Amino acid sequence: MPSIVGDVMTRDVVALRAGARFKDIVTIMRARMVSAFPVLDTDDKVVGVVSEDDLLVREGYRGQERRPTFRLRHGDRVKAAGLSAADLMSCPAITIRPEATLAAAARTMHGRHVKRLPVVAEDGHLLGIVSRTDLLRVYDRPDADIRGEILKQVISDAFLLDPLAFQVAVADGLVTLAGPAEDEQVAASLVAAVRLVDGVVAVRNRLRYPRSHR
């Protein structure tokens, strides 16, 4: 069964209140060696995220406002003058639920150009945070564990097939799958299911099945 965000997220999260001051944010960021913090309101719900990029707006444009040709978007202008997390944060926060799949989290990060996602409960309370590195941890999985799951949970349990009839080889996450399938559709479904196993990088399809004649 594919992992979900709740399986890989970091639960010990440093969060900020909206009133946290600029210098305090920098100090905590350096001390904890993190690049971003969720920002919470008075009800402990996530309302935004402050990242290094948000803080760098001040440094990057310091003194530029005196130049007659200087132009800055309103949001960046607020951040450049910001004194608190409420001024500096990117909001609304892009969040994800713990039951979301890792694939869904990866699509969200890629599509929204963010490096991490606060993980929230249904009511918006912070549960953890998931980063790009967390999502990639599934590829550290041993080949033997991947092979065992394919044989037991996919071939035997999900497809009700005899695992002894199949040859499954896994090398650095690359799966070679051989054996008999009832037809082309079953073969395609089996390959698709194997691709969803955590740690699988790619699947070489060596399955045999009767060819249809039209």
- Give residue 139's region: left, alpha or beta (phi > 0; psi -120 to 50): alpha
* Residue 175 shares a structural domain with residue 197: yes
Q: Would 126 be classed as within a structural domain?
A: yes
Task: Give the span between the Cα atoms of 70 and 49, in whole angstroms.
Answer: 27
* Residue 56 shares a structural domain with residue 134: yes
Tell me whether strands 174-180 and 202-208 are parallel, antiparallel or unpaired.
parallel
* Residue 48 shares a structural domain with residue 70: yes
Q: What is the CATH number of the domain that holds 187?
A: 3.30.300.130
Task: Give the span between the Cα atoms of 172 and 164, in whole angstroms.
Answer: 22
pLDDT of 200 = 94
Q: Would 76 be classed as within a structural domain?
A: yes
pTM of the model as a whole: 0.71
pLDDT of 17 = 92
Number of C-beta neighbours around residue 50 at 10 A: 29
In terms of Cα–Cα distance, which of 123, 119, 120, 126 is closest to 44?
126
Rg (CA), the chain: 24
**Which domain-ending residue is among 138, 156, 173?**
138
* Residue 46 shares a structural domain with residue 86: yes
* Residue 120 shares a structural domain with residue 157: no
Tokens of residue 212, six digits = 């249809």
pLDDT of 119 = 97
* Residue 73 shares a structural domain with residue 149: no
* Residue 79 shares a structural domain with residue 21: yes
For 93-105, what is the HEC assignment?
CCCECCCCEHHHH
* Residue 158 shares a structural domain with residue 200: yes
**Which domain-ending residue is among 138, 154, 186?**
138
Which residue bears the tokens 């890629």? 110
Q: Output the tens digit of pLDDT for each of the chain's 214 residues.
A: 568 999 999 998 989 998 899 889 889 989 988 889 999 998 889 999 998 888 887 665 555 554 444 444 545 555 666 678 888 888 889 999 999 999 899 999 999 999 999 999 999 999 999 999 999 988 899 999 999 999 999 999 999 999 999 999 999 999 999 999 999 999 999 999 999 999 999 999 999 998 765 5
Which residue bears the tokens 């009800």? 43
* C-alpha 171, offset from chain centre: 24
Which residue bears the tokens 């440093």? 14
Q: Would 80 be classed as within a structural domain?
A: yes
Q: Would 214 be classed as within a structural domain?
A: no
pLDDT of 70 = 42
Tokens of residue 23, six digits = 């210098």
| Domain, as residue range, for 179 | 141-208
Q: Would 213 be classed as within a structural domain?
A: no
Task: Give the span between the Cα atoms of 48 and 94, in whole angstroms.
Answer: 8
**Which domain-ending residue is among 105, 122, 138?**
138
In the chain, the number of structural domains is 2
